[in-house]
Amino acid sequence: MNNLVLNMKNITKTYTLGSEEQTVLNNINLTVNKGDFISLLGPSGSGKSTLMNIIGCLDVATSGKYMLSNQEVDFLTEIELAQIRNKQIGFVFQQFQLLPRLSALENVELPLIYSKVPAKERKKRAEEMLIRVGLEGQMKNRPNQLSGGQQQRVAVARAMVTEPTILLADEPTGALDQKTGFQIMKLFQELHNEGKTIIMITHDLEIAKNASRIVQILDGVLQEEGA
C-alpha cells in the first residue's frame, strides 16, 4: 500500500452545455504506483486532457474519489490544490511554457521561488537539474537561444527540480521532430530507471510504447490497462 501514489475510483466529469449534460469522463478507475511509467493513450476528444487536468489538480471531478499520496483531493480549496500542484506534480507541456526573458537557470528556479526556497539553494538545485538533463553549457541561455529539444529539457528540469511525486507530461514530444522526440523519450526512460513516477499523455502509439504500461482512453472510458 505504501507504493500507491495515485488512486482514482469511479471518476466522472460532466459539463452542462445549455440544457444538455455532456459526460467527458465516465467511471474512470486508475491506480499508479511509485516508479510507474504510464502512457495515457487516446485520440483528440477522447477525454485524456480532462483526465490529465484532474490528475494534475488543475480541475476536479464531478463525482468519484481521487487519492494522491494518501490525501483525498476532491474537496480541497483552490489554495490547497495550488500547493499540491507546486509540491507534488511536475508539469511538462507540449509547448515548453518557458518564460522568454529568463535564462534556462532562472526558468528552472521558478517553482522553487514559489516554494520559498532560499536563493543559494535554489540556484544549486537548478544547476544540478540542468546538468542532469545535459544542459550544463546552456544555463545562461534564454529560450530563443535554445533548440526545441533543449527547451524541452529545460522544461523537464523545471518539472523535476521540486522533487515531485509525479512527473505529468502532456504530449512532451508533440512540438519536436522525430529524432529530438526520441532523445526526450530516452531522458524519460532514464528518469524512470532512477525511480521517478511518470504519467505521459499522448495520441502517438509509438511514443506511448516507451512507457512500461499503456492505458487507453476512448470516449471518456479507460479501454484497457496493461503493458
- Report the predicted TM-score, pTM, of the whole model to 2 decimal places: 0.91
Report pLDDT for 226: 46
DSSP codes, the chain:
-TTEEEEEEEEEEEEEETTEEEEEEEEEEEEEETT-EEEEE--TTSSHHHHHHHHTTSS--SEEEEEETTEE-TT--HHHHHHHHHHHEEEE-TT----TTS-HHHHHHHHHHHTT--HHHHHHHHHHHHHHTT-TT-TT--GGGS-HHHHHHHHHHHHHTT--SEEEEESTTTTS-HHHHHHHHHHHHHHHHTT--EEEEES-HHHHTTSSEEEEEETTEEEEEE-
Report pLDDT for 175: 87
Please name each of the domains of the chain with its CATH number.
36-60+75-226 (3.40.50.300)
Q: Average the pLDDT over 43-48 and give the result.
A: 90
Q: What is the pLDDT of residues 113-123, one digit of tens each?
A: 888 899 999 99
12 - beta bridge partners? 63
Q: What is the pLDDT of residues 82-108, one digit of tens each?
A: 889 988 999 998 888 999 999 999 999
Q: What's the residue count for the chain?
A: 227
Give the pairing of strands 63-68 and 4-17: antiparallel
The percentage of residues in the chain with a pLDDT greater than 70, rounded to a whole number, is 97
Question: Is the pLDDT at 9 greater than 50, yes or no?
Answer: yes
Distances (CA, A) of 160 to 53, 219, 226: 18, 31, 26
Question: Is the pLDDT at 80 greater than 80, yes or no?
Answer: yes
* HSE value, Cβ hemisphere, 13 Å, CA-based, for 187: 27
Report pLDDT for 2: 63
